[in-house]
Amino acid sequence: MAVGSLVAQRCAGTLCAPSQSLHSAGLRSSAECVAPALRLAALRSERCRGRKSVVSMGLTKDGPSVAIAGVTGAVGQEFLQVLTDRNFPYSSLKLLASKRSAGKEQEFEGKKYIIEELTEESFKGIDIALFSAGGSISKKYGPGAADGGTIVVDNSSAFRMAEGVPLVVPEVNADAVKGWKAGSGKGGIIANPNCSTIIMLVPVTPLHKAGKVKRIVVSTYQAASGAGAAAMAELELQTREVLDGKPPTTEIFSQQYAFNLFSHNAPITENGYNEEEMKMVKETRKIWGDKDVQVTATCIRVPIMRAHAESINIEFESPVSEEQAKELLSKAPGVMLIDDRSANRFPTPLDVSFKDDVAVGRIRRDISRSDDRGLDLFVCGDQIRKGAALNAVQIAELLL
């Protein structure tokens, strides 16, 4: 069965397994589908997470006018969920996607919206636009929207390294957007960093402030969600196919994904690193404003639905002890400590799926060094949430 038809069937509800088992795999009951009935999906997913199903209402005449470009995608759907979860204020909401989705209905906070085709005219009168329709769409429509007075918070890599474009993780460098105000008539582009970079820097920055990080060696274990809704559907489909003894469908990735892992699918650059790895190197330098910090990364795609994991080795200029690191991380914003050596209990992707915080554990002195200037960590963060939609909405909150 093709991935596209799996997505379609799940959206029609025909393949939805009991929500608890889907949640155990890191799946919402249907929010990952490109489904128009988002509110229903959101309410189901709230039940999955054991939270109360409260419809919050951010609609207020005092809020900014908001547009979401790429609303039908994995990140776009999470934008809606995060806006609701955080009661983000908005005076109007415009939902944009490709021609394929134009005319479809999307329910949000008790109101029905019609998805519109994204065009150059879409951003007239919009204060904040959350973009997640891919880099080429950001390049095509982002600058025009910014010239027209919209502040674009862009999830793609299109403008991250551009001069004058702040690259922001609110827990790390909120100051980079000081003075930016939604609705002021002054537009611009703010870039959301790469998800692996965000998930690394949320826990590593408090340690950097304590001991100044000189070098990071990071290995990632990246989920299907980083490659979009279709990749998540392919992982689900392949898992069923392999268990049924059928050959796996490989439409999104070129090799078997279920029960396997492989080097990240981003293109390999001239130096042998892939683009995902080089993003972690360059973006860390820009976010920290430290061109000298050394980062080497190995990025791997693993058959996990929606949360990335990272093994991180850090070298400091000044000593940072295990105890100091634990104390700092237990209080750090956006961080949850899971570090129980006696129970051998440390962060897992499922601990952070659908959650805001990045989990950190396995905090230990690097025994390959004779001093206190090296630490090892293991971190997990929800790629769609903190790695993309939540971080972008937190940036938007800085503009209110």
Ligand X SMILES: NC(=O)C1=CN([C@@H]2O[C@H](COP(=O)(O)OP(=O)(O)OC[C@H]3O[C@@H](n4cnc5c(N)ncnc54)[C@H](OP(=O)(O)O)[C@@H]3O)[C@@H](O)[C@H]2O)C=CC1
**DSSP-based three-state secondary structure for 196:** helix
Residue nearest to ligand PHD (CB): 226
Q: Which of 195, 208, 264, 380 is catalytic?
A: 195
- When asked if residue 229 is in the footprint of ligand X (CB under 6 A), the reply is yes
Report the partner that residue 34 touches, choosing among ligand X, ligand PHD, none (CB closer than 5 to 8 A by kind): ligand X
Task: Give least dist CB 195 to ligand PHD, A.
Answer: 4
Burial of residue 101 (CB within 10 Å: 0-12, 13-18, 19+) is buried
Supply 101's token pair.
């989705």
The residues binding ligand PHD (CB under 6 A) are 156-157, 194-196, 222, 226-227, 276, 279, 383
Q: Restricting to residues 82-121, name those near ligand X by CB under 6 A.
A: 97-98, 100-101, 118
**Cβ–Cβ < 8 Å for 305, 353:** yes
Q: Which of 33, 48, 308, 380 is catalytic?
A: 308
| Residue 33 annotated among the catalytic residues of the structure | no
Query: Of 71, 317, 311, 281, whose CA–CA distance to 161 is shortest?
Result: 281
**Cβ–Cβ < 8 Å for 267, 275:** yes
The residue type found at 10 is R
Query: Of 302, 350, 359, 382, whose CA–CA distance to 74 is shortest?
Result: 382
Report the partner that residue 298 touches, choosing among ligand PHD, ligand X, none (CB closer than 5 to 8 A by kind): none
Report the partner that residue 279 touches, choosing among ligand PHD, ligand X, none (CB closer than 5 to 8 A by kind): ligand PHD
Report the partner that residue 222 touches, choosing among ligand PHD, ligand X, none (CB closer than 5 to 8 A by kind): ligand PHD
Please provide the size of the chain in residues.
400
- Per-residue binding string, ligand X, 300-319, x by CB under 6 A, is --------------------
Report the partner that residue 132 touches, choosing among ligand X, ligand PHD, none (CB closer than 5 to 8 A by kind): ligand X
Q: Which of residues 320 and 395 has its CB atom nearest to ligand PHD in the complex? A: 395
Q: Which regions of 224-351 does DSSP assign to beta strands (E)?
A: 262-263, 294-301, 307-316, 335-337
Task: Give least dist CB 179 to ligand X, A.
Answer: 24
Task: Give least dist CB 177 to ligand X, A.
Answer: 16
* 275-288 and 195-211 helices, crossing angle to 10°: 40
Task: Give least dist CB 182 to ligand PHD, A.
Answer: 23
- When asked if residue 74 is in the footprint of ligand X (CB under 6 A), the reply is yes
**DSSP-based three-state secondary structure for 64:** coil
The backbone torsions φ and ψ at residue 136, rounded to the nearest 5 degrees and listed phi first, read: -70, -35
Please identify every residue annotated as catalytic.
195, 308
